Amino acid sequence: ATSLQSLKHSTLLHFWGHHSFRPLQSEAIDSLLEGSDTTVLLPTGAGKSLCYQLPALLLEGTALVVSPLIALMRDQVQQLRSMGIEAELLVSSMEDHEMETVLGLCREGVTKLLFVAPERLSSRKFRTQMEDIPISFIAVDEAHCISEWGQDFRPNYRHIKTFREQVKPVPIIALTATATPSVLFEIKERLGLSKPRSFSQSFRRENLSLFFEQTLEPFERVYQLLSGARQSALVYCRTRKQTELLTQMLLNKGLGNVDYYHAGLSSGLRTKKQKQWLESPAKILVATNAFGMGIDKQDLHTVIHLSPPQSIENYYQEVGRAGRDGKPSFAFLLYSQPALTTMDSLLERSIASRVEFYKITSLLYSLCQIADGERPERTYYMPTEKIERLSGCHPQKIRGVVEFLHNQELLFLKDYPGPSTLQIH
Ligand code: ADP
Ligand code: MG
C-alpha cells in the first residue's frame, strides 16, 4: 500500500509537476484503482481530470474517456501530450487508416487515454474494434450530461451503460461539478453504477466573491469595472448582438485586448478566438453562454454578467470559471428592472424556460431585497423553501447550487474594493 502511495505521488510530480493532491483526488484515485465504480462531485476547477488521468497511467490498458464536446477533448489530448502522456482521440471525421493507427496503439498498450464522443459507444463497428483492446476503465466527464434536467443533456450518454454491459465490464468513474442529489441519482441509475463510492465536497469557493448590482447602464458599468484591470475577464451577455456591441463600445473607449464570441460564428473562428483568449494574458472576452464549458484559464479573476443568466445552474458554472488558481476573484451580476421585465415577456412564450426563469428571478428578487434594503450579516442565507415555492421546481434539483450560494459570501458593490485590487496579485 505504501509503495502504491509513493508511486501515485511520484507520478503526480513527474508528469504534472504537482507536489500534493488536492482534497479528495487521492481518495477517488484509490477507489478507481481498487476497481470500484466511483463518482466525483467537485466544483469547477477543483481538479477532477486528475482523478481519471493519473489512474490511467498506473493501470494496464487504455482508459476510455467519454466527453461531450470534441473541442474539449482536443484540448485535453493536446494538454496530455504536452506533458508526455500518450493520449488519442477518435472522431468520426478521421480516415479509416487514421483510426486504425489509433486502435493499433491502444492494442499495443501505448495509448493510456482514448477520448471518444458518447455516440461512438453505440456503433457496432466500434464495439467490434474494442473487443481485443484492453480497457482499464471508462471515465465519464461532465457526467451531468446524462441528466435530462439540465441544458447540457446529451442523449448519447445512455450508450455508456450498454457498452459496459455488452462489451467491456470495467469500472466507471463519473465526474461532474453538478452536485444536486437528483442529478447524482440519475448519473448512478443511467450509467448503471454498482455500489459506487462517491466523493464530493462542499461547493463553497473561498476565494470567490459574488457581487450584485442594479444598473440601468450595464455597458458603462462593465467599462468602469474593467478599465484598469490587468487580468483576464469574461463578460456574459444574453444575445449575440450584445456581445458585438459591447465589444465595440469597450474598444472605442480605449480598452485594448477585447474580443467577442458566440455560436453564430463559424467553428473555425470560434476555435481561433478561444485559443487567443486562452493564450493571451489580460484579455477580455465578451461572450454568450455558448462559451465556457471546460474552460480553464488561470488568470481569469473576473466574470461579469451583463444581465441575469438563464438559470441558477448556468450562473454557478459561469462564475465558477473565475479564480481556479485560488487567488481572490470577483463575479458581478448586473440587473435592471426593465431587463427582468423583458426577460419575462420573452420567456412567456416558452414554457420550458419559464421554470428556469422563475428560479433565477426569485433568486434575484431575494438578493435585490437585501441589496436595496437592510444590510444583512456578511453571509447571506436564502431559504431554499422560498425558491422552491416560487419556482415550482423539484426541490432536489436546485439544492446543490443553492448550497453553493448559501455558503458563498455575497457582497454588494459598495464593498467592491475597485479595479486597483485586480492588479495586485
Ligand atoms: P475540473 O475538471 O475539476 O474543473 P481541472 O481538472 O480542469 O478541473 O483542473 C483545474 C486546474 O487545477 C488545472 O489547472 C490543474 O492543473 C490544477 N490541478 C489539478 N490538480 C492539482 C494538484 N493536485 N495540484 C495543483 N494543481 C492541480
Ligand atoms: Mg473538467
In this prediction the ipTM stands at 0.99
What pLDDT, on a 0 to 100 scale, did the predictor assign at position 343?
52
What pLDDT, on a 0 to 100 scale, did the predictor assign at position 52?
98
Question: Separation of 5 CA from ligand 2 center, angstroms?
Answer: 24
CA quadruple 121, 124, 130, 131: dihedral, nearest 10: 130
- For residue 101, the SS3 value is helix
What pLDDT, on a 0 to 100 scale, did the predictor assign at position 421?
34
Q: Which ligand has the shortest distance to the CA of 42?
A: 1
Q: Which residues contact 1 (CB under 8 A, 6 or more apart)?
A: none
Distance between the two ends of the chain, CA-based, in angstroms?
40
Per-residue pLDDT of the chain (425 residues), as tens digits, is 789 999 999 999 999 999 999 989 999 999 999 999 999 988 777 899 999 999 999 999 999 999 998 888 999 999 999 999 999 999 888 999 999 999 999 999 999 999 999 999 999 999 999 999 999 999 999 998 898 766 678 899 999 999 999 999 999 999 998 766 667 888 999 999 999 999 987 656 667 777 777 788 999 999 998 987 778 999 999 899 999 999 999 999 999 899 999 999 999 999 999 999 999 988 999 999 889 877 888 889 999 999 877 666 677 778 889 988 888 888 888 877 666 555 555 444 443 444 444 445 445 544 444 443 333 332 233 344 444 444 444 444 444 444 555 445 444 443 444 433 333 22
- Assigned C-alpha cell, 112: 493510456
What pTM was computed for the model? Answer: 0.61
What pLDDT, on a 0 to 100 scale, did the predictor assign at position 413?
41
Q: Which ligand has the shortest distance to the CA of 142?
A: 2
- Greatest CA span in the chain, whole angstroms? 68
Pocket around ligand 1: residues whose beta carbon is below 6 Å from it?
Answer: 18, 21-22, 25, 42, 44-50, 296, 324
**Residue bearing the CA closest to ligand 1, atom 24:** 18
Ligand 1 atom nearest residue 296's Cα:
7
Q: Which residues contact 99 (CB under 8 A, 6 or more apart)?
A: 90
Question: Separation of 304 CA from ligand 1 center, angstroms?
Answer: 23
Closest C-alpha to 150, from 101, 102, 184, 173: 184
Grid-cell match 462593465, residue found: 222
Question: Separation of 175 CA from ligand 2 center, angstroms?
Answer: 8
Question: Separation of 241 CA from ligand 1 center, angstroms?
Answer: 34
- Assigned C-alpha cell, 331: 463575479
Task: Check: CB of residue 229 under 8 Å from CB of residue 68.
Answer: no
Question: Separation of 49 CA from ligand 2 center, angstroms?
Answer: 6
What pLDDT, on a 0 to 100 scale, did the predictor assign at position 281?
87
Ligand 1 atom nearest residue 42's Cα:
3
- For residue 152, the SS3 value is coil
Task: Check: CB of residue 382 under 8 Å from CB of residue 366.
Answer: yes
**Residue bearing the CA closest to ligand 1, atom 26:** 18
Q: What share of the chain is helix, strand, coil (3-state, %, to 5)?
A: 50, 15, 35
Task: Check: CB of residue 28 under 8 Å from CB of residue 51.
Answer: yes
CA quadruple 335, 340, 346, 351: dihedral, nearest 10: 110
